[in-house]
Amino acid sequence: MRRFRDALMVSGLIILSSHADLQSEMLKKEAATGRPEAQFAQFDLGVAFEKGDGVEQDWKQAAAWYRKAAEQNHPEAQLALGSCYAHGTGVSQNDELAFEWTRRAAEQYFAPAQLFLGTSFEKGGLGLEHDAEKAVLWVRRAAGQGYADAQFTLGKYYALGIGVEADSKKAVEWFLRAADQDNRSAQLTLARNFNTWSRYVSNDEVAFGHLLSMARQGDSKSQLNAGVFYRNRGSNDQDLEKAVKWLQLSGRQGNADANKLLAHHYLNGIGAEKNTETAVQLYTTLAESGDAECQETLGLIYAQKEDFEKSVEWYVLAAKSGRVQSQIKCISIYGIGLGVECNRVEAYAWALVVSDEGDNAHKQKLEPLLSANEQAKAYKRYWVLLREIKSLKQAGESRT
């Protein structure tokens, strides 16, 4: 039985191969007739040689057949030949000819060629000088024909202000047009910016549909945005449970923003059963990676647990990471000896740090309590703290 099945598979492959060979032979005959309608067969034959479909792959032959069709004004062939010259496939690389054949296709209103020409002006490809205005001109022509890739690109230009004045509303309009044609890049862009751009959307259900689609396909940023949407709406327990669900999915992929929000939900029992241990685990992972806000939160959590040693450890780290509230907390910690030995010099040093932020009250309150010698020591310690704060700040910037 197995031999019979294998024989059928082999014979099937032979039939398919023979059919492909027959098709390629028919294309060759039609392409060689020289009639005007032969351009279609010539282009198809070029594609066959490019992909090795029914013939042995041969880029030179592909370019040769594209040229025959292109010379008869076949726009797809013109773009294909332009691409061959742009990349040096089957022909010698030549930016001038790449531009010329692409331009011919674009002037025949072939949208993919118009997009390619536009992005070439944007990036300075095909030997062209960078010209953002011409980029917008050609991309807009392609987008106006309903070409989804061009609509997405035009949306990007409006979002980033490339060749046009930045306009988030117009960007969203073009992204939506592309997304409605299942353009994944547009759907992802809308989903990942949903909470920022939702005010520009006249039909929230359509935009939210794209968000959920991308979230269900596993995009971490979209899952985060879905969680934030339900969290902000929070009209009932079901919304909050959905928020936790999406934040969990995003967090499992390592999304730090999702895990920070999730920790808050667990800590306060919002949309999920209260679980301080899980919240602390999430905050600790983020704090150890340099998240100053999470470091400060851990300082508070451990203080509430009356584990002052750990509380001080996290508050000091948050203070050195630039959290002003933690810096003020350090003044109290060292001023009254909460979890550490009382140290007015250290407290005054932190008061000097805080005074750099414009808050002089703590410095003025402590100053009369210190001798001139203690103040001198505090200033030395203050300069050390500033260096440590600067070092941690630079480390944080390098991580981002």
pLDDT at 10: 40
In this structure, the number of other CB atoms found within 10 A of the CB of residue 118 comes to 28
Q: Report yes or no on whether pTM surpasses 0.75.
A: no
- Span 172-188, pLDDT tens digits: 999 999 999 999 999 99
**DSSP 8-class letter at 368:** G
Please, how many CA atoms are within 13 Å of residue 386, restricted to the half-sphere of its CB? Answer: 14
Per-residue pLDDT at 307 exceeds 70: yes
What's the mean pLDDT in 313-333?
96
Q: How confident is the model at residue 200 (pLDDT cuts 50, 70, 90)?
A: confident
**DSSP 8-class letter at 58:** -
pLDDT at 348: 96
Farthest-apart Cα atoms in the chain, separation: 104
Least confident among 32-46, 293-307, 334-348 = 32-46
In this structure, the number of other CB atoms found within 10 A of the CB of residue 302 comes to 20
In this structure, the number of other CB atoms found within 10 A of the CB of residue 215 comes to 23
Per-residue pLDDT at 2 exceeds 60: no
Residue 108: exposure state from Cβ atoms within 10 A (0-12, 13-18, ≥19):
middle
The residue with greater pLDDT, 140 or 397, is 140
How far apart CA 88 and CA 97 sit, in angstroms, is 11
Question: By three-state DSSP, how is residue 166 classified?
Answer: coil
pLDDT at 201: 72
Per-residue pLDDT at 16 exceeds 60: no
How far apart CA 81 and CA 50 sit, in angstroms, is 11
